[in-house]
Amino acid sequence: MSFINNLAAMVLAAGGGNGGLLDVNPGLIFWTVITFILLLLILKKLAWKPILTSLSEREQFIEESLKKAETAKADAEKMMQDNKAAIDAADDKAREIIDSAKKEAEALRVKNEEKVKLETQAMIDAAKAEIERKNQEAFVKLKEQVAEIAVDAAEKIVRSSLDKGKQIELVNQYIDDLSKN
């Protein structure tokens, strides 16, 4: 029991009494108020004002920089789109030019081909006509020759028409001559 009493006494001694924990010293209040207000005034002038303005300045700077970056990005994107459109247009134009060139070349080729064909045909026709003419000429010559030969043969027959045996020999000889020719 005395132990518990002593404990209680200890706790109470800590709480009150002279020089206790809850004693308020007016001098300390005085100094605390003066110290704190002086600290507030000094720090406000010396530290808080410059620091806070610097911080808000920096925040503004960062915000502006971000905005600038944003607009720069938008500009760049727009420029890229413009460029892309220009490239697309150039591509289209190039393709058009190539297409038209191809068409022209095709037309030219077809035209050339026809011309060549016509020329060839003309040459073939000329050659054919020449051949025909030569044939005709040869035929005429042959006719003349045959006539001559026939006249010759008739002359020979007429000259040596004495006996039958001789005639036959003559004819055979003539035929031989013919075949040899």
Partner 1 sequence: MDIDSTKAVVSDTLAQVTEKAQDTGWIMHHILDGNYLEFPPFGVVHLPELHLLGMDISITRHVIFMWLAVIILVFLLGRVAKAYKKSLVPKGINNLMEVLILFVRDEIARPTIGHGFEKFVPYLLTAFFFILTCNFLGLVPYGATATSNIAVTASLATISFIVIQAGGIMKNGFFGYFKGLLPHGLPTWLIPIMFVVELLGLFTKPFALAIRLFANLTAGHIVIMALLGLIFILQTYFVAPVSVAFALFIYLLEILVALIQAYIFTMLSSLFIGMAVHQDH
Residue among 16, 58, 107, 134 that touches partner 1 (CB under 8 A): 58
Q: Which stretch binds partner 1 (CB under 8 A): 9-17, 68-76, 77-85, 87-95?
A: 9-17
Is 143 one of the binding residues for partner 1 (CB under 8 A)? no
Residue among 31, 73, 95, 102 that touches partner 1 (CB under 8 A): 31
Is 165 one of the binding residues for partner 1 (CB under 8 A)? no
φ, ψ of residue 44 to 5 degrees: the values are -60, -45
Nearer to partner 1, 43 or 118 (CB): 43
Q: Which stretch binds partner 1 (CB under 8 A): 47-55, 77-85, 130-138, 153-161?
A: 47-55
Is 40 one of the binding residues for partner 1 (CB under 8 A)? yes
Is 51 one of the binding residues for partner 1 (CB under 8 A)? yes
Is 28 one of the binding residues for partner 1 (CB under 8 A)? yes
Is 21 one of the binding residues for partner 1 (CB under 8 A)? yes
Whole-angstrom Cα distance, residue 119 to residue 137?
Answer: 27
Is 22 one of the binding residues for partner 1 (CB under 8 A)? yes
Nearer to partner 1, 20 or 138 (CB): 20
Q: Which residues lie below 8 Å from residue 174, measured CB to CB, with a gap of 6+?
A: 153, 156
Residues that bind partner 1 (CB under 8 A): 2-3, 6-7, 9-10, 13-14, 19-33, 35-40, 42-44, 46-52, 54-55, 57-58, 61
